[in-house]
Amino acid sequence: VATLKQVAEAAGVSVKTVSRVINHEPEVAANTRQHILEVIEELNYRPNTRARALVSGKAGAVAVVNPAAGEAHLNLFFDSVLRGIAEVLSAHKLDLLLYLSRGDDSPYCELFLQKRVDGLILMNMPFDDPNLLGLTESNAPCVHTCYLAENDNTRYVVDADHAGGIVMSVNHLAALGHRDIAILPGPDNLIAVRLRMEGYRRALAQHGLPVRDELIRHLEFYSGDVRQIVVDLMQLEQQPTAFLCGVDLMAINVMNILRDLGYRVPDDISVLGFNDVVVSQYVSPALTTIRQDGHRKGVTAATMLIDLMSGSLDGAPQQVTLDVELIQRSSTGQRNKV
């Protein structure tokens, strides 16, 4: 592979002149420039990114850290978020370094210290991750996404409006006459789940409906015993007429269980999901659910990070909450006495 020096020699000029041509600096004679361009073409020269990085002191890359990649429930949007991030970075000529390690052997805060990246986007990062401290100490620019600590205004964060999604769901059901709305929001240790519960309580209050604790069932998204929960709920004296589920797949599962138990969806019971995964439109009845825009989340987070790196964000950390959307399909309907 040719180097700047070789190009300079072949063209009979100094390295600096070649450098000027590559970097589109104006003060070069037109014919000199032309000649140099030809030599570059001929030698198939390409600037060496590593050398540039060394001189500039910038890595020219951003890390996307996601220790939970591979855990299905956290990664339904991983693709689309990544694509959003990639588009923005690409437009800014930044490389995207994907960092999925869980191990403590090479913690992600090293990425910045070792000049491998200029900033980080942290996805699904546990609130109390031990490496987070080192990251803060290193002063690395970083933005969190798919994570939102309650009342944590000390970090830059982008996430979907989990609470708002549930509020929309409850409003939708209330408008259909439902009053006894069960919720299976997911495991209690997730912040997103706690935010949704906040939305649930708030929305019920707005409609003057009581919060009935027996209708709130925390369980793992995928490993929980959904059937037992559904059976329990339907044996209550005052049965629920609608189910809010933490993820679409759980909602699909609930619909099947209800059918097994002899209930019709949505005639007897309404069911709502969260996330709007692809399959939700193909099941029968098609699932009413809350859609998050993963692509937009990625774009927003990456844009924020770039602003942060460029120093144009000197104020206090920002927390951005992205709107979600109710996708109304066929799994919800007018309340009927069961």
Residues 54-73 that bind DNA (CB under 7 A): 54-57
Residue 23 beta carbon to its own copies: minimum distance, rounded to whole angstroms: 14
Q: Is residue 257 within 8 Å of 226, Cβ to Cβ?
A: yes
Alpha-carbon distance of 134 to 117, in angstroms, equals 15
Residue the block writes with tokens 């793992």: 220
Residue the block writes with tokens 């020269």: 45
Q: Does 47 bind DNA (CB under 7 A)?
A: yes
Near its own copies by CB under 8 A, which window of 197-205, 272-280, 299-307, 323-331? 272-280
**How many other CB atoms are there within 10 angstroms of residue 62's CB atom?**
26
Alpha-carbon distance of 216 to 271, in angstroms, equals 15
Residue 56 beta carbon to DNA: minimum distance, rounded to whole angstroms: 6
User: Of 10, 15, 176, 326, which lies in the binding site for DNA, with binding defined by CB under 7 A?
Assistant: 15
In a 10 Å sphere around its CB, with 0-12 CB exposed, 13-18 middle and 19+ buried, how is residue 249 labelled? buried
Q: Is residue 306 within 8 Å of 58, Cβ to Cβ?
A: no
Residue 137 beta carbon to DNA: minimum distance, rounded to whole angstroms: 19
Task: Return the beta strands (E) in the chain as ranges.
Answer: 61-65, 95-99, 119-123, 142-145, 156-160, 181-184, 242-245, 270-272, 289-291, 319-322, 325-327
Q: Does 42 bind its own copies (CB under 8 A)?
A: no
Near DNA by CB under 7 A, which window of 7-15, 159-167, 208-216, 246-254? 7-15
Residue 38 beta carbon to DNA: minimum distance, rounded to whole angstroms: 14
Size of the site for DNA (CB under 7 A): 28
User: Of 5, 12, 16, 106, which lies in the binding site for its own copies, with binding defined by CB under 8 A?
Assistant: 106
Tell me the three-class secondary structure of 85-137, residue by residue.
HHHHHHHCCCEEEEECCCCCCCCCHHHHHCCCCCEEEEECCCCCCCHHHHHHH
User: Of 16, 51, 264, 328, which lies in the binding site for its own copies, with binding defined by CB under 8 A?
Assistant: 51
Closer residue to its own copies, CB minimum distance, 197 or 249: 249
User: Of 3, 75, 131, 321, which lies in the binding site for its own copies, with binding defined by CB under 8 A?
Assistant: 75
User: Of 11, 82, 234, 290, which lies in the binding site for its own copies, with binding defined by CB under 8 A?
Assistant: 82
Binding positions for its own copies, rule: CB under 8 A: 1, 44, 46-51, 53-54, 59, 61, 64, 69-70, 72, 75, 78-80, 82-83, 86-87, 90, 95-101, 103, 106, 110, 113-116, 222, 249, 252-253, 256, 259-260, 277-279, 282-284, 295
